[in-house]
Amino acid sequence: MNIHEFQAKEVFSRYGIPVPRGIVATTPEEAKAATAELGGQSVVKAQIHAGGRGKSGGVKLVRSPEEASEVAQTMLGTNLVTPQTGPEGAPVEKLLIEELADIKQELYVALTIDRGHRGPALLVSTQGGMDIEEVAANNPEDIHTEPVDPLSGLMPFQTRRLVRKLGLDQAVASEAAKVLSALYRVFVENDCTLVEINPLIITGEGHVVALDAKINLDDDSMFRHADLLAYRDVSQEDPLEAQASDLDIAYVNLDGDVGCLVNGAGLAMATLDVTNAAGAAPANFLDVGGGATPEKVSSAVKIILSDPKVKRVLINIFGGILRCDIAGEGIVMAYKETGSTVPLVVRMLGTNVAEGKEILGASGLPVVFADTLTDASNAIKQIKV
Ligand code: GDP
Ligand code: MN
């Protein structure tokens, strides 16, 4: 789960990581009042679940409360497109109005899971404020990494080593070291998959401040973070993905026109490969899971059918815990309820396959049955779109 910058900064504050004074605004009037409150100047920052806002008009410095109101007017209610959003952008419903920072230097700091060493890794760079991907590609030696042993945690010698590589003066270095250890606690205690500060600035007075804040949380840990769950902003999520997640269906929206319904993540991946091999493109990844009921299968099919991109459907069910007759019932239920006529190719094997095919065959739906993945691929090719 992603959260907004202002929420990540609330978390940072709880851990003693310095952030600029800021006020959330949802109207131009609030942006104006907030800027007055902050001394008449501010930075207006669009709150969306994506970075790259600076380059895309989502971060604006303003010199008066009136200007804040004007800038807020142009941002609120629009979809902000950045290099990290899709072409449709992300809706701007909230702004973070912050006091202006006096930036002397911009650093980069992040913690993430490094699968290579099977634990967290702390990354720092003096090349903050810009695309870290670019730095990684062109000047990888400018990014310094410390793999952390999750049992012993981040050790003081590791923070000292990183801070030394940043070449900071002693007083600044000691503040930076405190931020790094606090950041590690944020990461572990909140089950984060990513915590990033870009830029972590050094101010003219030599203080260290998190000017930006990004936190990604592990979805599988949310059951033990009720406080963080309150940070969820569904407006920032793909509507179909949000609906699927509420139904506990593993679903990822993709670009193609073949809606895929599969049980099991491995089989779902294989189904995407087969679809691509057929010269077609999948509209989604969908794993309906093992113990699905007809109602759950039906909800999954309805999600697929409500996607306007979907011109054909490929069902690939291996009937084990999810029996083929249950899947068949669910599919028919969804088609009957939506009145859809989207053609479907069904490959079913396993428990109660005869009953499953019988239910689908008798339903009057535009079904083509396939026995193997190759047959399924050929059948998908034959549907004209
Ligand atoms: P991002 O582009 O979405 O990552 O948004 P950031 O919060 O990182 O802001 C982008 C850039 O705006 C930063 O790297 C800074 O250079 C600049 N910026 C943000 N806040 C301030 C501020 O208070 N004063 C000044 N001078 N620049 C700022
Ligand atoms: Mn940033």
Mutate to test the pocket of ligand 1, among 6, 212, 215, 236 (most ligand atoms within 8 A of CB): 212
Is residue 171 predicted with pLDDT exceeding 80?
Answer: yes
The token pair at 67 is 């200007």
- DSSP string across 130-197: S-HHHHHHH-GGGEEEEE--TTT-S-HHHHHHHHHHTT--HHHHHHHHHHHHHHHHHHHHTTEEEEEE
Residue nearest to atom 14 of ligand 1 (CA): 129
Which residues, chain by chain, have CB under 5 Å from ion ligand 2? 198, 212
Averaged pLDDT, 222-251:
93
pLDDT score for 300:
97
Assess whether the C-beta atom of 129 lies below 6 angstroms from ligand 1: yes
pLDDT score for 86:
85
Mutate to test the pocket of ligand 1, among 9, 41, 59 (most ligand atoms within 8 A of CB): 59
- With CA atoms as reference, report the closest residue to 261 among 168, 351, 145, 342: 342
Assess whether the C-beta atom of 49 lies below 6 angstroms from ligand 1: no
The token pair at 88 is 């449709």
* 169 phi, psi to nearest 5 deg: -65, 160
pLDDT score for 290:
81
Is residue 32 predicted with pLDDT exceeding 80?
Answer: yes
pLDDT one-digit tens code per residue, 53-74? 999 999 999 999 999 999 999 9
Q: Determine the topology of domain 21-100 in CATH.
A: Dna Ligase; domain 1 (3.30.1490)
Which residue's structure tokens are 């720092």? 124
Mean pLDDT score across all residues of the chain: 96
pLDDT score for 235:
94
Instruction: Please report, for residues 7, 54, 56, 91, the alpha-carbon distance to residue 85 in angstroms, rounded to integers and kept in the order given.
Output: 19, 13, 11, 10
pLDDT one-digit tens code per residue, 339-366? 999 999 999 999 999 999 999 999 999 9
pLDDT one-digit tens code per residue, 260-294? 999 999 999 999 999 999 999 999 999 998 888 99
Per-domain boundaries in the chain: 1-20+102-237, 21-100, 238-382
- 251 part of the active site: no
pLDDT score for 292:
87
Distance from the alpha carbon of residue 80 to the mean position of ligand 2, in angstroms: 15
Rounded distance, CA 320 to CA 326, Å? 11
Distance from the alpha carbon of residue 199 to the mean position of ligand 2, in angstroms: 6
- With CA atoms as reference, report the closest residue to 147 among 162, 134, 132: 162
Assess whether the C-beta atom of 136 lies below 6 angstroms from ligand 1: no
Distance from the alpha carbon of residue 251 to the mean position of ligand 2, in angstroms: 29
Provide the pLDDT confidence category of residue 130 given band limits of 50, 70 and 90. confident
What is 238-382's CATH number? 3.40.50.261
Is residue 384 predicted with pLDDT exceeding 90?
Answer: no
Residue nearest to atom 16 of ligand 1 (CA): 129
Residue nearest to atom 9 of ligand 1 (CA): 54
Query: Which SS3 state, helix, strand or coil, does residue 64 take?
Result: coil
pLDDT score for 289:
87
pLDDT one-digit tens code per residue, 177-224? 999 999 999 999 999 999 999 999 999 999 999 999 999 999 999 999
Is residue 14 predicted with pLDDT exceeding 90?
Answer: yes
pLDDT score for 65:
98
pLDDT score for 96:
98
What is 1-20+102-237's CATH number? 3.30.470.20
pLDDT score for 97:
98
339 Cβ neighbours under 8 A, 6+ residues apart? none
Assess whether the C-beta atom of 51 lies below 6 angstroms from ligand 1: yes
Helices (H), ranges, 278-361: 294-305, 324-338, 353-361
Of 109-113, 128-132, 143-147, the poorest mean pLDDT is in 128-132
Catalytic residue among 108, 184, 231, 335: 108
Rounded distance, CA 257 to CA 280, Å? 8
Catalytic residue among 67, 98, 196, 329: 196
Ligand nearest to the CA of 196: 2
pLDDT score for 131:
85
- 196 part of the active site: yes
